[in-house]
Amino acid sequence: MQVLVTDPIADAGLELLRVEGHTVETAYDLSHEELLGAIADASALVVRSGTEVTREVLEGAPELRIVGRAGIGVDNIDIEAATDNGVIVANAPEGNVRAAAEHTVAMTFATARSIPQAHARLQTGDWAKGEFLGTEVNDKTLGVIGFGRVGQEVAKRLGAVGMEIVTFDPYISEDRAEQLGAELVDDLETCLERADIITIHTPLTDETEQMIGADELALLEGGYVVNCARGGIVDETALAAAVADSTLEGAAVDVFAEEPVSPENPLLAVENVIVTPHLGASTAAAQKNVALSTAEQVLAAFAEEPVRNALNAPSVDESSFPAIEPYIDLADTAGEIAVQLFDRRVERVEITYAGDIADEDVDLVTASALKGVFVPLEWQVNAVNAPQVATQRGIEVTESKTHQAEDFQSLVTVTVANGDDSVSVCGTQFAGKDSRIVRIDGYRVDAVPYGHMLVAYNDDVPGVIGFIGSVLGDADINIAGMFNGRETIGGEALSVYNLDDPVPESVLDELESDERIVHTSHISLDNGE
């Protein structure tokens, strides 16, 4: 079969494909039009970040079976279009973990001891021994923001040289953090206040973009920032200013919001900011590992075997698929709603099946529920890798079945929990493909899970629903549907509103200022704008 490689990868990966009898064509720096011509007969496409794999490209490749991304980020690949065209998308997330962790450690020592600055001064003939008073990392506190694969490896290495480790990650369990010698804290602010040095290891998502700005950096007064994760997580202008005015002692940055970085970027003009051109994965071993991993997944796809790091290739017995298909998206959505209502660290996820669906193979539905729960964690989580993410983060997952389903043919319930606190969301299908949320935390509702939703816990007294409607109306937010549930007359009730627009924090604050409103949550689902 023909494999088209449009970005350079290590020769080891190319050679593996050739040894297995496949034709490998390398064509770098192609224009979009040239790519459309080159891919017409390809069975596999191997890329890094330089090739934009668009819907047009995918639709123009009728023989294409897999797109292999030699690295972790797949923002240059239209995964939805790949799925629509039956093309597997697979990345290589493990190959450069060690390299990224080691670069982070190197940058930590470099900024703490001003190594590049001292080197530059000495090269000019200036023996500035008395001008560089470094910081020892022993007995200092390292704040790890994001405790995934790379964050854990950094913690192991810097913990071994005597650093105390604290970490903030809403999707890691206390047990998992403790296993790695880290203390899990409940919020970003606490992590920043406790730390002498912070290192960032989160993906760039809507949630994490500009997560660390001037206010957050002020909490780290006298400390250091190391970012070898993704540009855009830290406000670059604020970071440059904080180092320049000595709020921070220094910073080390490997990634930028725009790459290649502009010469006008303020970080380049501050002496105590160390910069490198996105070198985190730039080791010979990492590049070889990534290339081999990608080639192995291409070979698996050609052999119609499971693709280990597939991002869009769920697998289920063909005979079971018609029965579970309507519940795949429903479970995903229920997970999304539950985790947004919970709004705290998740330690357990429970998925319960009741009624007819309890007789089916529901592994894919469970994985889809986990995907919904983990969507805020990292955007490439899907039904294929969500169970692995749960394992890596020490989150307990349980699945149970019962044939008792109240008045419904089938029910799927997703519960997220931490200690004794939990939120449960229960959904079903009407007429085959009409998804409904029918219970939230024991309250019976009949809500359409789509787009923007407002969930309000309130006292069951006259005037509350009218008040909520008035506040939303004053904010020019249109109500598309409303569903109310209560347990007892005059007790606490729960209302769910389908909305045409998102709900700003200011509107939520206004609603909660009324003593009849216990709590409100804005839910934003992936299936609507």
Quickly state the pLDDT bin for 198 (edges 50, 70, 90): very high
Half-sphere exposure of 300 (CA within 13 A, CB side): 18
**Residue type present at position 261:** V
Cis check for the bond before 504: say yes or no (omega within 30 of 0).
no
Higher-confidence residue of 303 and 378: namely: 303
Give the span between the Cα atoms of 115 and 121, in whole angstroms: 10
Over residues 246-258, mean pLDDT: 96
* pLDDT at residue 117, rounded to an integer: 96
Q: Which of 22, 194, 230, 452 is catalytic?
A: 230
pLDDT digits (tens, 9 = 90+) for 444-460: 998 889 889 999 999 98
Find how far residue 218's CA is from the centre of its chain: 26
Residue 352 reports pLDDT greater than 90 = yes
pLDDT value at position 529? 46
What is residue 246's DSSP assignment?
A: T
Task: Report the alpha-carbon distance of residue 473 to residue 507 in Å, rounded.
Answer: 11
Please, are residues 183 and 166 in contact by the beta-carbon 8 Å criterion?
yes
**Residue 325: band (very low, low, confident or very high) from pLDDT cuts 50, 70, 90:** confident
**C-alpha of 309 from chain center:** 16
DSSP secondary-structure letter at 36? H
Q: Do residues 171 and 335 lie in contact, with contact meaning Cβ atoms separated by under 8 Å?
A: no
How high is the pLDDT of residue 528? 46
The lowest-confidence range among 153-162, 189-198, 403-412, 414-423 is 403-412
* Rounded Cα gap, residues 274 and 280, in angstroms: 14
pTM value is 0.74
Percent of the chain with pLDDT over 90: 74
In sequence order, what are the residues at sequence separation of 6 or more whose Cβ sits closer than 8 angstroms to the Cβ of residue 123?
none
User: What is the DSSP-derived secondary structure letter of residue 126?
Assistant: -
Residue-level pLDDT at 314: 58
Question: How many residues are given for the chain?
Answer: 529
Which is catalytic among the residues 25, 80, 136, 259? 259
Place of tokens 């830290």: 234
Active-site residue, selected from the candidate residues 22, 48, 103, 278: 278
Q: Which residues are 131's β-sheet partners?
A: none
Within this chain, domains 97-275 and 321-524 share the same CATH topology:
no
Other CB atoms within 10 A of residue 19 CB: 10
Reply yes or no on whether the pLDDT at 241 is more than 50: yes
Any idea what the Cα angle at residue 334 is, between residues 332 and 339, rounded to 5°?
100
Q: Kindly indicate whether the domain formed by 97-275 is annotated with CATH number 3.40.50.720.
A: yes
**Helices marked H in 212-361:** 214-218, 236-244, 284-302, 321-342
Q: Which residues pair with 412 in a beta bridge?
A: 353, 427
User: How confident is the model over 140-185, as pLDDT tens digits?
Assistant: 999 999 999 899 999 999 999 999 999 999 989 999 999 999 999 9
CA–CA distances in Å: residue 392 to residues 184, 376, 381: 15, 16, 13
From CA 314, how far away is CA 86, in angstroms rounded? 11
Determine whether 278 is an active site residue. Answer: yes
Tokens, residue 99: 């390299």
Catalytic residue check, 193: no
Residues 6 or more apart in contact with residue 329 via CB below 8 angstroms: 368, 435, 527
Q: What pLDDT, on the 0 to 100 scale, is given for residue 384?
A: 60
**Section 229-257 average pLDDT:** 97
Among the residues of 275-358, which ranges form H helices? 284-302, 321-342
Higher pLDDT, 320 or 334: 334
Mean pLDDT computed over 394-418: 92
Please choose, from the candidates 99, 95, 101, the residue with its C-alpha nearest in 3D space to the C-alpha of residue 157: 101
Give me the amino acid identity at 313: A
**Whole-number average pLDDT of the chain:** 91
| Residue 323 scores a pLDDT above 60 | yes
User: Where on the phi/psi map is residue 199: left (φ > 0), alpha (ψ -120 to 50), or beta?
Assistant: beta
Indicate if the pLDDT at residue 381 is higher than 80: no
Average pLDDT over residues 85-113: 92
pLDDT of residue 75: 80
Alpha helices in 303-418, H assignment, sequence order = 321-342, 363-374, 386-392
Q: What residue spans define the domains of the chain? A: 2-94+285-302, 97-275, 321-524
As a whole number of angstroms, the distance between CA 497 and CA 169 comes to 30
* Alpha-carbon torsion (487, 491, 492, 498), positive or negative: positive
In angstroms, the CA 461 to CA 490 distance is: 6
Instruction: Report pLDDT digits (tens) over 43-71.
Output: 999 999 889 999 999 999 999 999 999 98
CATH 1.10.8.60 for domain 321-524: no
Q: Residue 376: is the preceding peptide bond cis (ω within 30°)?
A: no
Which CB contacts under 8 angstroms, 24+ apart, belong to 152-155?
152/180, 153/97, 153/98, 153/100, 153/101, 154/101, 154/104, 154/105, 154/199, 154/201, 155/180, 155/181, 155/182
403/430 Cα distance (integer angstroms): 18
Fold of 2-94+285-302: Rossmann fold (3.40.50)
Distance CA 251, CA 224 (A): 5
Say which DSSP state 358 is in: G
pLDDT higher than threshold 60 for residue 527: no
